[in-house]
Structure 1
Amino acid sequence: MSGQPHQDEASLLVRRALDQYESNLIAYTAGVLNGDFERARDVVQDSLLKLYLTDPEKVRDNLKAWLFTVCRNRALDILRKDHRLDLGNEDALAGAVSFDPDPAENADSHELHARIWELVEKLRPNQREVIRLKFMHDCSYQQIADVTGLTVGNVGFIMHVAIKKLREHLNRELATRSN
């Protein structure tokens, strides 16, 4: 393939990625990077550069999953480099900073929604990631599998266990409040 057609198609793919996925990629990557939006923006920019330099034939049909995978891998590299990735430390996960809803907001549905996302933060990292990709970034099970390197069956199982755990936590909290 000569350089010019590749560059034209690569430019179009980058524009498409920016238009369709940039904000979701930043939000997802910031979640992986423990809320660091500045680094997340840098990771997304690096990923878009990598997209531009990659043969469009290899990514055109699977752009969303490819972008999320590249961002995830780059973010995990950063965490490893910073020695902040410890998937086995349950104590650290249990004490993770969570989002507290605005006390002035009294709408029950808003409070419940916020509380669910608080509880998501207490899940295991792989469960958090699968839930975020599905419900925040609207990825299919196949796309989640492509991003994480899991099988579609594993994604379904992790999703099932995570939702079950969230339901248990919510039921326990509701029972405690009603007493």
Structure 2
Amino acid sequence: MEFDPVRLITRVASRQDRGAFAELFQHYAPRVKSMMMRRGASADRADDLAQETLLRLWRKAGQFDPRRANASAWVFAIARNVSVDLARRDGRAAAWLLEQDDTEEYDQDQPDQHLILAEREEIVRSTMAKLTDEQLHVIRLSFFDGLAHSEISEVLGIPLGTVKSRIRLALQRLRDGLGDLR
């Protein structure tokens, strides 16, 4: 029988079907782990992130709507959210550790550096806002989620050439808009 993630997620949502979940886990856990490792996670951390992603799939299966997203896109969105949540949690922990540091370096505020960073951030945001929704989506999947072009093609259900074209056009727009920052 062909792998049908929509059917499997529906079974998990409606009957808490452990067999369906096992199939989903077997299919997606290695892919999510691979994505996390491409984003810089160690193998152990990537395993943890993949497991957390699939646990969230188990808990949120009833929220899946196949009319709004295909199953792979939904699973990778969960993975991205797990990764972001963990980074935020780690960031808060790092901020707390910095607050515990007694060195005076952190007390010396440099307003000019903060202003420069804020200006650069605004330029990047406004340039990214000029991308089409389709371009922004493939850029996020490629550069922020670390998916390969073929994986993006599979997730979005579009031809590989279309993915490459959207990325090329988006990068050209970003280069044009960010020229002063280079």
TM bin (shorter chain): 0.3 to 0.5
Instruction: Give the TM-score normalised by the residue count of structure 1.
Output: 0.46
Who wins on radius of gyration, i.e. which is larger? 2
Instruction: Give the TM-score normalised by the residue count of structure 2.
Output: 0.45
